[in-house]
Structure 1
Amino acid sequence: MGRGKGNPTGWIARVSMGKISFEMDGVSLSNVRQATTLAAHKPCSSTKFVLWS
């Protein structure tokens, strides 16, 4: 019997405390900006966009 770890299925990135990271694919940039702007107003948080090419 193993310890239940299984095979790794993806990558993990370190995110500092107080920061949340989202990666979106298959959605237009304007829709992403609109959705995150609306969502950021709820908890009064700031958003920063990084576009990967």
Structure 2
Amino acid sequence: MEFQALRKAVSLPQLRLLGAEVKLAQAYAPTRSHRWVNAEAMNKLAVPILGPAD
């Protein structure tokens, strides 16, 4: 539904640029919020301390 509305509102070159930007963001986005903290319990403990810095 959102993509249909986007196709109607945005030109093809702009859609291609948006697609490239999404792929670039996905390539550089971290897979975990804090890579050095591997355990789920440790992530839950780290969030109150490190969360505001994110």
Larger fraction in helix: 2
Question: Is the radius of gyration larger for structure 1 or structure 2?
Answer: 2
Answer whether TM exceeds 0.5 for this pair. Answer: no
TM bracket, shorter-chain basis: 0.3 to 0.5
TM-score (norm 1): 0.35
TM-score (norm 2): 0.34
